[in-house]
Structure formats: structure tokens, C-alpha cells
Amino acid sequence: MSNLHQEIKQMIIDALDLEDIEAAEIHDDEPLFVDGLGLDSIDALEIGLALQKHYGIKLKSDSEETRQHFASVNALAALIQSQSNNK
Amino acid sequence: MLSFKLQAWNAQAPGLESISDWGHWLEQPFPLSHELPKLSLKQIPPMLRRRFTELGRCAAGAALPLLEDVTAIPGVFASRHGDTPLTLSLLEGIADGEPMSPTGFSLAVHNAVSGLLSIARKDVSEVTAIAAFDNLIPHALLEAATQLQSRDKVLCLIYDVPLPELYQAYSPSEPFPFALAMLLSRDEGVDISIQQHPSEDTQSLSSDVLRMMRFMCGLDRQVHFAGKAHMGWTLCREA
């Protein structure tokens, strides 16, 4: 698990008050919403806010692209890496 | 005059978790903690449980034991101040120029507790969220008893947490978190009447909550709520 992946998992746990969940319990390729971790639409908004705070990333809330970025920890890591490469 | 039957009730405050706890405490009161200990709320899945603030935990802790065998029931959710600790923290965030937490915002509305309970119980029955300055207790019961005209049972849930210190100079609040859940029924339980009548605007020595709890525990047969404009309310347990 890369440092970035670890960092994202901890960000999710802190932002969403997932007190009972350890970072190691979140799998890199597991769906974050509904089936996998079981997050809901308010969590998606909260993760959007956390991405903005931590990485300066702003996303459109309703685009199909955003949906793909939020699919898993792997997808979020790819998003953050691509944004930092663009800078 | 309006009558209803009280089928069951439950109340929650720090250290007072059963009807007998309340009875003992009302006879020999001692200061209660300002904070509610972490309730397990095992009936609620963890992913939803994290959304409950102290106000929600207090209200749910009182209501859920009454609803174990009830699949669907309309509810009257009454709180004088709502989740003021949460709304104050959001306002402070705005003042500091921070972006607002969507979760915090969604939970700051007055019907947040009823919404969470509705999701947790998968119960889509109608809910009514009310706030009242004076006489929250009789007004909540009036609303619930009125809804009994068209429903067999109604949940009436009254709850508040202490106001944050910043607000305490402007309005009274109980010094401890408190929730009273009552299951009103058309045909099962103790007969209770609720009546409005002319009343002097006298200041009672104890709070409405404490007098209501004495009435609930059977220590008093009646409880009076003095109102503004010379009209008050009386609840009476019928013999």
C-alpha cells in the first residue's frame, strides 16, 4: 500500500467519522459506495470537500467523470496523482 | 378537553436509563452530568449510527426500546432548541471562512433526528417536527393526541440538550441532555386528559421537564404548565 493510498484512507476515515474502521480494512480496489464500504451520497459530498481541503481538487458534483474518480481508493489516488502532475 | 391513552413510555438522561432510575432520582435528586455517556444504540447499523449527535443519541435511546415491536408509527418530534451545539459549530466555521461540512449541514435541521430514526427503522410513516418557546410538552402532546384521531398509535418524543454557554444568558435550558418518549394509543393504556384553561403566569419552582417527569412516574396525578396570555395547560391522569 503506497503512502498516498494510506493517506486517502485516513482522510476518508477522519472526514466521515468512521470510528470503527481501520485504514487496513479499506481495500484499494473495493467500491467505496453502496456495495463495498457502504458510503452514501452525503459521504460523497464530504469526500469532495476533503479533496478540496487536502489536495486543492475541485470536482463537479454531478458529472460522470466524478462518479469514476470516486469509485475506489485506487481511482482517487489516480485522480490526485494526475492533478499533481499537471501542476 | 382531549383524552388519549398512554400505552408505554421511556425517558433518558445521563445516569437515568429506566423508569425506576427516574423515580428514585425525583425523590432524592442529585446533580446529573452535562453530557450523555456514549450509548451503544446497537439497534442501528454502525454506518448510520455515526450520524447521531448527542441530541439524536439521547432521543433515539429513549424511543427505540418502545418501538421494538412496532413496524410503522407516525411520530411527533419536539425539541425547544434543536441541535444548538451543532448549529453553533457550523456558524463558527462560517465565521472562520471554512467550507461547511455537508454532513453537519444536513444534520442541523430541526427534523434531522426524525429523519435518522426513519432511515434506521425503515419506517416511512409521517413525522412532525415541532419547536415551541413556551409549553413545549403540552403542545407536543396536543399534536400527538390530535394525530390519534386518524391513527391507532402515535409516538411523541420530546428532547433537548443543554444550550452551549454562548446562548445560556438568553434562554433557559435543562442543564442535562433529556429525552422523553411516549407511545400514545387510542385503545390501550392509562387514560390521560389534556386541557387548556385560564392560568396566572406564575413562575414554578421546578422546570416543566422535572414536573412532567414527576407526573410520568406517578408521583403527581396532575401537572400544570403555566402559559403566556393567561392561558395554561393541565395534564391529568384519570382514576
User: ipTM, 2 decimals?
Assistant: 0.82
**A32 and B CB contact within 8 Å:** no
% of chain B with per-residue pLDDT over 90: 84
**pLDDT average, residue stretch A38-58:** 92
pLDDT score of A36: 82
Judge: A18–B102 Cβ closer than 8 Å, yes or no: no
Whether the model pTM is above 0.80 = yes
Instruction: Judge whether residue B201 has pLDDT over 70.
Output: no
Query: Phi and psi (nearest 5°) for B4?
Result: -150, 170
Domains and CATH numbers, chain B: 2-189 (3.40.47.10)
Mean of pLDDT over chain B: 94
**pLDDT average, residue stretch B110-139:** 95
Supply angle C-alpha B157, B147, B43, rounded to 5. Answer: 35
pLDDT score of A35: 82
**pLDDT average, residue stretch B38-53:** 88
A21 pLDDT tier (thresholds 50, 70, 90)? confident
B42 pLDDT tier (thresholds 50, 70, 90)? confident
- Are B182 and B145 in contact, with CB atoms under 8 Å apart? no
Judge: A38–B47 Cβ closer than 8 Å, yes or no: yes
pLDDT in tens, B109-124: 999 999 999 999 999 9
Judge: B106–A42 Cβ closer than 8 Å, yes or no: yes
B106 pLDDT tier (thresholds 50, 70, 90)? very high
pLDDT score of B83: 97
pLDDT score of A1: 59
**pLDDT average, residue stretch B146-157:** 97
Write down how long chain A is.
87
How close does chain A come to B204, measured CA to CA in Å? 42
CATH number of the domain located at residue range(s) A3-86 in this protein: 1.10.1200.10
Task: Give which of B51, B96, B103 to mutate to test A binding, by max A Cβ within 10 Å.
Answer: B103
| List of chain A residues whose C-beta atoms are within 8 Å of the C-beta of residue B51 | 17
Residue spans of the domains in chain A: they are 3-86
Judge: A49–B47 Cβ closer than 8 Å, yes or no: no
Judge: A53–B46 Cβ closer than 8 Å, yes or no: no
**pLDDT average, residue stretch A10-33:** 91
Instruction: Judge whether residue B202 has pLDDT over 70.
Output: no
pLDDT score of B233: 93
DSSP string, chain B: -EEEEEEEEEEEBTTB-SHHHHHHHHHS--PPPSS------TTS-HHHHTT--HHHHHHHHHHGGGGTT-S---EEEE-SS-SHHHHHHHHHHHHTTPPPPHHHHHHSSTTHHHHHHHHHHT----EEEE--SS-HHHHHHHHHHHHTTT-SEEEEEEEE-PPPHHHHTTS---SS-EEEEEEEESSSSEEEEEEEEE---PPPSS-HHHHHHHHHTTS-SEEEE--GGGEEEEEEE--
Instruction: Judge whether residue B127 has pLDDT over 80.
Output: yes
Instruction: Judge whether residue B88 has pLDDT over 80.
Output: yes
pLDDT in tens, B52-86: 999 999 999 999 999 999 999 999 999 999 999 99
- Identify the bridge partners of residue B234 per DSSP, sorted by sequence position: B195, B224
